Structure 1
Amino acid sequence: DLAVGRSALITARKRKKSAPPLKTPIFETPRGGLTMLTRALEQAIRSMGGTIATDTKVEKVSRRYKAYLIVTDSQTNPEIIADSMIVTSPARASATLLSDLDEQVSTSLATTDHASVVMVTVKTQETEIASFRGLSGYLVAKPDQDRVTAVSFGSNKWAHWQPNDGSMILRVSLGRDGATTHDLIHEWEDERLVTQVIDEVSRHTQTAITADISRVTRWPDAFPQYRPGHLAHIEKIERSLADSSPGVFIAGASMRGIGIPACVAQGENSAKSVAEFLAHLRD
């Protein structure tokens, strides 16, 4: 109902105008960074008697009677027999792993597009940038884009990022789906990337910022791209796996949501599916 929707928007706008100004960031994240999530998960798994193999590559997965043989490059435990498994790697990597189990699934996963990005984090003490305090950042409209696509005022968003010397921390994204990113990822040196960021952000904000400290992080093929019909595509893959490889489940950013909450939900749902499958085996 358009009338109801318009009324809701008007109400929200009025409430925003009458609300007191915020004195703290509106965003939340673990103080130690998102790595705290993986550390907590690791601790939970180990506390329940689970094992984790790091720096270990899975080279092949195949059927072993009613179970699955997982071949790794580990010197101590190169072969693992599993009744069930959840594959959470990026779609193209999963395509390779599942090729011996279901060729159709492997081919479908291999067609997934991914976008590469570079993140440049900059600490600046320019006084002019202080006018942006209280703002979370901005997106660069495609007609105005050069290489920078978004700028996050990180120290405004995250309380634990706020420096004590009055400076600001910016986190800048370069690259997106449909744009050339090979040079950013594989050719440009860190210094050139930082210079590009400083030039573009200075132009966007009409300020002359400098980088006191900077950090460059490259994320090749990091963001799976959901094309029209994506969910139907994933459902078809899941049905094929259920027929050809019972007990094998897929999850992760390439499947049913790229954000952390979506990935957590997929993990929980996949764990339930494994439990149900194993219970059926015991029966």
Structure 2
Amino acid sequence: MNNFVIGAHQSFSKGFLQMGKDAKYIDSNTFQFFMRNPRGSRAKKFDEKDADNLKDFMKENSFGKILCHAPYTLNPCSDKEHVREFAHIVMEDDLKRMEYFPNNLYNFHPGSHVGQGVDLAIDMISSLLNEILNKDMTTTVLLETMAGKGTEVGRSFDEIKRIIDKVELKEKLGVCLDTCHIYDAGYDIVEDLDYVLDEFDRVIGLKYLKAIHLNDSKNPFKSHKDRHEKIGEGSIGLDTFNNIVNNERLKDIPMFLETPNDLDGYKEEIELLKSLRK
């Protein structure tokens, strides 16, 4: 179980230190969180003392990298200029705050092209990244793989790679692979996980894989639905998660649960996943 960095989503409304304490309660050594309202724009005033307390707590408890998730409301490739500007403002502010926790991770959904087409959307997303990334930042910004519902961008490894190709500071970028999303998008991690990882490596490069969202799926393969299920209770199944947590190419990647659960539910899932780790 060496280097098994696993955690779950925490509520930022509780404050920084409490998120760390909740993570420890569920026997995890990392966590994912929102810096602000996930369905809005408002961020709490940054409490430096609380942030310092979390950093001390993480050091004392040997935490791995933590992951901040951008709000779901962001759409960097919207057909509306004010929506794109909103994405720019929020992500730029989140990344400034994340520098208080150096060398960690920030994840975002690439967005939806709302009928404009994937090519234009990729230009918009990469343009935003070129504007907000800078050489001095320590945070790694992750593009999340998506299920492909509606006009979502990032439904394939190729679309993710095309965004990366247009970004100048590629060393500041990574990918967060969501198990529910890629399974719903048509990557069959149940029947052939190694083939999917080979394809990821061929198209994007495994060096870019910086985080994994561990989620089962309520829907069947290639459904493009994106509805998360508890580990082992969906169409992906427990055997696949056993393969994931024990795959040599994934063992050192931090993993985060986004399943429909409360803290005690996450505690049970983490105990289960740890029991699978060889």
What TM-score do the two structures reach when normalised by structure 2?
0.24
Larger Rg: 1
Q: Which has the higher strand share?
A: 1
